[in-house]
Structure 1
């Protein structure tokens, strides 16, 4: 049966509920709703109206039975799907440190491939790059009772077990093996992608990559978790790849024993992703100007319980920039079209609590309206503080970094 496929923009495009081929049935919608609520722990994700719904502040790909929904941010000024895919992948590549160099050379990549295929391609290329240096192996040991000495003699056990069998030697053998938790997780990820991706050329690449893990039995991949892996100087090159593996695995309820799967999702909280993206770009720039940058620090207490002397309300600005150990600039990101009075109150509270800071900046993604930046100033005559509202075009990473650089120059 062919999948019903939808490509929508979060906070914008509606999907109709009904019985027509271009709609989602009510039963399918209920399954989707249950999956979303479980994935995001009942956080408000769906906006529901009469016989229609849309996604709120999430992006990625979602499958429920016979339905595949690709959810993109609405950012390209020309309202092009391929441009929005590119923006999202650029943000993800920064936040997860996965290069996109191989995609930029293929002009049709963002037109001809959906988000899952593009993401799978990124994952494969980065994994193949590391595997070309050799599959990761780690030492393990086993105790054997054989005619030959294998490794180290275990004298006490040898005397106990071979008292009447002088032709055997009990020893402990140590050897390198590719059968370890890291490789099990990588194979598990590749099998999920093989089940979810339709493009022939990608499936061929997945099958080729699976050859590296042919000695790892399929039944071993059920219960290994990324938290079980201890990174060292030999396997740390796979750390970022495993972060993506975790995203792919956690979104799948694929049953490896029976081969049955019902749902799958790789979904991102877009406000958090935007916040992290701006922080990473600023972090890269801060080294040029000898600035220290903190992400979501919690050092200022707005309210303290007088009886217990414990904070009951802690301030958590997204980004605080320091120069010579003094806070100089506070930045808060907002994933929405325009500012509200609550946003102004929030940044003003930060400025009041950080006495040395004279300026706070609110950063919003630039919408189709190309809003102009806004400059505000507090009315206090004694301690004036400035608030700047910036609408940032994040499609062009070089332009984005240029605007952020100007913020640091004028700190």
Structure 2
């Protein structure tokens, strides 16, 4: 059974849902549990951002969804998290709210294709943020299932891991030659070298690139190659192709019959003080190789899937638009950018604040993946930007949110105290488009309008400062 909904939505699970009691029982295993707990308890669950400290929304303490009983009805309530998650017989797909919500029976393929609408916006943000080549969604009806997402994300994890170098570890190797350099294997020597002709059977521990991790990656590569319309992802760019060839070159012992053994060898999560990015690659390789088993793991309480925090993804997507026009993107995870709260701290560490986007310490913009009424700003959101303006002594603060309506630029008004102004920007997300290329064309036009509006605001700020100087 597959349930399809959207982020920030309340979906009623009633008698119209086949096996509704079983669905509710399955989903109850995950409902209301915070993401930090789930990721620790379920090793087959991938989530972006991998480092929860990458954003200040404290995603680790929030649930993926909640189940609430309302007037004898069970309501599934989602937040900002999107993606796929499955447990027992039930799979839950959470699309962006810019795609249609529906409930479908996975056994009824015709109804499934009719009910599910393409989530072009989620695909587009992933393509921009993670540099994923989605091939224009030419095979759109199969594009939105979990396996396809895993395959499309594989090059991202591959490049991040191998950018740290090809992993090697000590392996026990057996030899039978005249260059003795290890412990003699008496049984093998007696079996192979009688009568004696100069060779000695021995074993030695030595560094090898052909190990359980590289073999796991190789098996995932070979499986992807076999999938129609998906194998192209392995040579979507020169870097991916080079890394694929590197893995193939250094796994000479690969054989397809060893797949089950390699999967079992990698049951323990990979941990290494230097090769930190390999843990994510190991997870996604296991999901790709186990996919059929994951789909039908009826007696397994372990969740599997891949999830994206919408607030983080929206912020990183906006960064691809704002960075080229001079905006800094302070990050909490790397402790880069930001500003100290105290000019002089008398005791303890000086805490820092990290606005989403800053330009020349004069303009502060905040990314909001939420519905924002045109003439209203949430109290906490307003206080947050006001504090940034005060700390930076900036004159302009603003918010950028997605909308289903037209692009919007709104001056909310002038501020008391030190002065300055608050602005609201809304980026229109195209609706009712016929294809992914059409979506990309339309959203690119809306992005241009947004950037021009922000540039105009910056220009006006420069003019005002020039007059005040005169």
Residues 130-169 of structure 1 aligned to structure 2 (within 5 Å): 146-149=176-179, 153=181, 167=198
2: CA distance, partners of 1:115 / 1:301:
44
SS at match of 1:278: helix
Q: Which residue does the alignment assign to 2:28?
A: 30
Q: Which residue does the alignment assign to 1:388?
A: 423
Is the 8 Å Cα contact of residues 182 and 229 (structure 1) preserved in structure 2? no
5-14 or 214-223: which moved more?
214-223
Q: Which residue does the alignment assign to 1:99?
A: 133
2: CA distance, partners of 1:145 / 1:117:
41
Residue 310 (structure 1) aligned with residue 355 (structure 2): no
Question: C-alpha displacement at 1:71, in angstroms?
Answer: 0.5
Is the 8 Å Cα contact of residues 295 and 319 (structure 1) preserved in structure 2? no
Is the 8 Å Cα contact of residues 83 and 95 (structure 2) preserved in structure 1? yes
Q: Which residue does the alignment assign to 1:268?
A: 308
> Which of 400, 406, 425 is 1:363 aligned to?
400
Q: Which residue does the alignment assign to 1:321?
A: 359
- Structure 1, unmatched stretches of 5+, are 130-135, 232-237
- Partner deviation per Cα, 1:26-71 (whole Å, 9 max, x = no partner): 4223223277663265524434241222211111011121111111
Is the 8 Å Cα contact of residues 299 and 314 (structure 1) preserved in structure 2? yes
Aligned length: 361
Q: Which residue does the alignment assign to 1:375?
A: 411
- Partner deviation per Cα, 1:78-123 (whole Å, 9 max, x = no partner): 99986652211121222222222x244x1xx333443314313424
Residues 11-90 of structure 1 aligned to structure 2 (within 5 Å): 11-16=8-13, 21=18, 23-25=20-22, 26-33=24-31, 38-39=37-38, 43-47=62-66, 48-50=68-70, 51=73, 52-75=75-98, 85-90=119-124
> Which of 349, 372, 379 is 2:387 aligned to?
349
- Partner deviation per Cα, 1:217-241 (whole Å, 9 max, x = no partner): 433222251656739xxxxxx9899
Q: 1:404 to 1:115 in 2, by over 3 A?
A: farther
Q: 1:147 to 1:273 in 2, by over 3 A?
A: closer
TM-score normalised by length of structure 1: 0.68
2: CA distance, partners of 1:222 / 1:306:
48
> Which of 216, 231, 248 is 1:184 aligned to?
216
When the two chains are superposed, the root-mean-square deviation of aligned CA atoms in Å is 5.0
Is the 8 Å Cα contact of residues 98 and 122 (structure 1) preserved in structure 2? yes
Q: Which residue does the alignment assign to 1:223?
A: 268
Is the 8 Å Cα contact of residues 146 and 305 (structure 2) preserved in structure 1? no
- Partner deviation per Cα, 1:191-248 (whole Å, 9 max, x = no partner): 8x99xxxx98579999xx99966366433222251656739xxxxxx98993982895
Q: Relative contact order, CA 8 A, sep 6+: which one is greater? A: 2
Q: 1:213 to 1:298 in 2, by over 3 A?
A: farther
SS at match of 1:63: strand
- Structure 2, unmatched stretches of 5+, are 40-59, 103-113, 160-165, 190-195, 234-243, 249-253, 431-439, 459-470
> Which of 114, 125, 128 is 2:144 aligned to?
114
1: CA distance, partners of 2:299 / 2:229:
22
Q: 1:118 to 1:400 in 2, by over 3 A?
A: farther
Q: 1:91 to 1:10 in 2, by over 3 A?
A: same
44-53 or 339-348: which moved more?
44-53
SS at match of 2:28: helix
